[in-house]
Structure 1
Amino acid sequence: MLKIKRSDFLLKPFLKRNNIRASYQIISTIFPIISIWLIIYQIINQPLSLFIKGLLLIPFILLLTLFSSRTFSLMHDCGHNSLFTKRKLNRFFGFLLGLVNGIPQKSWSIDHAFHHRNNGNWEIYKGPIDVLSLEEYNSLTKREQIFYKVTRNWMMLFPGGFFYLVLKPRLGMVIIIFNYTKDILEETFIKIKNRKISQLLVINSRVKPPFSDYGNNFSELCELIINNVVVIIGWIFMCKWLGIVFFLSFYSLVLTLSASILICVFFVQHNYENSYAKNTKNWDIIDGAILGSSNLDIPNWLNWFLADISFHSIHHLSERIPNYNLRACHKANIHLLQQSKFLKLSDFSKCFKYIIWDNKNEKLIPLS
């Protein structure tokens, strides 16, 4: 079988970005979110029983969850500089979209770009949940192995989602600022005679919290702070408008469910039976895109809320293709994607077994 090359794919016609289509996607996402919150305000202020109010709010929880997922997906496109024609527009709207879910877009996008550069090279990139190699897993104690299994169970999508969107950016900011301030003071009072003042603005990797993707440099730290300040001000406003208990519980639930969907989708698009999982010396970026990225056969309405990220092989072949061109590009190149993995919703649960990387045989294997 001949090896498929990137040049075999018809990609160029689909690289064209369109500001009108991009703007429509932003408007058709943000306006419904605002409208839903206005409806929620009306519901909770009606003289109805708590039970009736709860029933009326259920569909709006689901709708906000889906729109939150779409907001994240559009932010993802901005991070690839693929939604709008100009980088500045992508940065601006990416930052605004990040505010909706309380996540700093720049740091997230830099971390996500690392994934794209190394997809399928499991020696460098261990997937969305930091999969252990078989050797690493076997070196764990029984208690550590049990903890590993539990923390990578599909049920952990929910506490994981809560941590990812609600807690992580806030904790990251607090810890980074604390460590960075401590570092600056040490540099200032202990080593200033041997260091240039400009070097004091360099954030070294040692000041990053171990769980955070944030704070690699001063620019990322600034955006992290600005994002959190604006987000927290927004939360305070919403608490005053809707009530602190209602908003924080309702909004946390929405973000938890939304993040769970996103983490689940990202997981099954890279962790599945026979996924491409090579060592560095045998890795190829094109094979990583075609064989290491699954495509999802899901309903069109769900694809809309995920901004067509289901067509994932094409997305990995060329991250600059805007989401509104992914489907057409996928169809135009479907004859070259016969080796790619296609998953249905019913297949998702099976993917969560593949949480060990057999580095000798270069494949993902299930835990018994």
Structure 2
Amino acid sequence: METATTASGRRQQERPIDRPPTWAAIRAITSRYRTPRMVISLWQMANSFLPCLGLYALMYASLALNYWLTLALSVVTAGFIVRIFIIQHDCGHGSFFRSRRANDAVGLLCSLFTLTPYSMWRRQHAGHHAHWNDLDSRLSGIDIYSTCLTVNEYRALPTWRRALWRTMLHPAVSLLLLPPLVFFIIFRLPFDTPPSWTHERWAVQGTNLALLCMFAALGVCLGFRDVLLVQLPTSTIASIIGVWLFSLQHRFERSLWARHDAWTPLAASIQGSSYLHLPRVLQWFTGNIGFHHIHHLDPRVPNYRLEACHHAHPVFARATILTVRRGALLSSLYCLWDEESKIMVKISQI
């Protein structure tokens, strides 16, 4: 509190000084929202898995009527796949249930819907949280959505590598062509993982075996052609939506990157992740993941408590707000960090 004294010597009323909260104070706030609620978690599973299974049944039935109806239903089904992915995401962070065993069991169940190997993705995603926005500790490998180049690094590349980078990061490639490739093929092959990740490597093969058995059984019962006509568009649309959400919440014009000695978890979360403000129905399907700045502040907060946490302190409102109409559709174009102007820029600006 600050006390001011007037010329007459009388003390004015005390008023608080507007100081930025410390990291410890922020964590104290978010910690109040960490505890998962069993009833809500179970209800979220019920209103995600059951409608998804029902829609799959309708899709198979619609094949006898009109395939355009099947494709229309696949869009809605893909929305539920995204919602199930958010549950898997929470399980990977240990935030959906208090029990580690329950989180792992539900996460494995989710992987049969999302086609995402649970153990492998959980460990890789933990690396994303540990290194995001740190220019001196960027993730290597094929994940173009969790890293960036600086303007100077891009200019120093050979011509053919600049062309490759431009091609890979073009929205038509990174947001439409690559997502199905990632979920259908790359997630089936743990070739980019360290040899020491023995459990995760075996877990990928276990997921592949479970998926093979599941689709084989469906093919025998319903016909392999019908399984392909239903599963292919649904998983493709879900993968595109999921990757688009991940990308725009990390790559936008005002996203912050910093060198390691200037990197702080608070700035990396509030300024390096966006707040995607969606209409209520889309917020429901995406499991509140639009409050991504809160998720990076504290990954142990369950998805259904992110919004309440967001409203718990004014500092959380400082995150960059994106909407479908304002910024979200074009944010993926910002993929190079300009260390001089301290903003993300488009390749076309270089």
Letter of the 1:326 partner, please give it: L
The verdict on how the C-alpha distance between 1:351 and 1:234 changes in structure 2, with shifts beyond 3 A counting, is same
Q: Does 2:12 match 1:12?
A: no
> Are 2:257 and 2:272, in contact at CA under 8 Å, matched by a contact in 1?
yes
Letter of the 1:61 partner, please give it: S
> Are 2:294 and 2:316, in contact at CA under 8 Å, matched by a contact in 1?
no
- Give 1:340's aligned residue: 319
Q: Does 2:218 match 1:242?
A: no
> Are 1:162 and 1:252, in contact at CA under 8 Å, matched by a contact in 2?
no
CA distance in 1, matches of 2:263, 2:346: 22
CA distance in 1, matches of 2:263, 2:340: 14
> Are 2:188 and 2:205, in contact at CA under 8 Å, matched by a contact in 1?
no
1:81 paired residue among 79, 86, 94: 94
1:358 paired residue among 326, 338, 341: 338
> Are 1:106 and 1:220, in contact at CA under 8 Å, matched by a contact in 2?
yes
Q: How far is 1:75 from its partner?
A: 0.3
- Give 1:134's aligned residue: 151
Bigger relative contact order, structure 1 or 2, given CA contacts below 8 A and separation 6+?
1
1:255 paired residue among 223, 231, 235: 235
> TM-score, normalising length from structure 1?
0.82
1:224 paired residue among 204, 207, 212: 204
Aligned length: 323
Q: Where do residues 23-42 of structure 1 align in structure 2 (5 Å cutoff)? A: 23-42=42-61
The alignment partner of 1:122 has SS state of coil
> Are 1:95 and 1:105, in contact at CA under 8 Å, matched by a contact in 2?
yes
Q: Does 2:181 match 1:163?
A: yes
Structure 2: gaps (5+ residues): 1-17
CA distance in 2, matches of 1:129, 1:324: 25
> Are 1:279 and 1:359, in contact at CA under 8 Å, matched by a contact in 2?
no
> Are 2:151 and 2:336, in contact at CA under 8 Å, matched by a contact in 1?
yes
The verdict on how the C-alpha distance between 1:36 and 1:244 changes in structure 2, with shifts beyond 3 A counting, is same
CA distance in 1, matches of 2:228, 2:61: 17
- Give 1:111's aligned residue: 124
> Are 1:78 and 1:94, in contact at CA under 8 Å, matched by a contact in 2?
yes
The verdict on how the C-alpha distance between 1:171 and 1:16 changes in structure 2, with shifts beyond 3 A counting, is closer
Q: Does 2:101 match 1:122?
A: no
Letter of the 1:237 partner, please give it: A
CA distance in 1, matches of 2:155, 2:222: 51
1:286 paired residue among 257, 262, 266: 266
CA distance in 1, matches of 2:270, 2:74: 36
Q: Where do residues 48-67 of structure 1 align in structure 2 (5 Å cutoff)? A: 48=65, 53-67=66-80
Q: What percent of counterpart residues are identical?
A: 24
Letter of the 2:302 partner, please give it: P
- Give 2:13's aligned residue: none
The alignment partner of 2:52 has SS state of helix
Letter of the 1:115 partner, please give it: H
- Give 1:68's aligned residue: 81
2:41 paired residue among 3, 22, 43: 22
Cα shift readout 1:62-116 (whole Å, capped 9, x = no counterpart) = 1111011111111000001000111111011111101212211111111111111
> Are 2:128 and 2:146, in contact at CA under 8 Å, matched by a contact in 1?
no
> TM-score, normalising length from structure 2?
0.86
- Give 1:206's aligned residue: none
The verdict on how the C-alpha distance between 1:228 and 1:215 changes in structure 2, with shifts beyond 3 A counting, is farther
Q: How far is 1:270 from its partner?
A: 1.1
- Give 1:151's aligned residue: 168
The alignment partner of 1:356 has SS state of strand
The alignment partner of 2:328 has SS state of helix
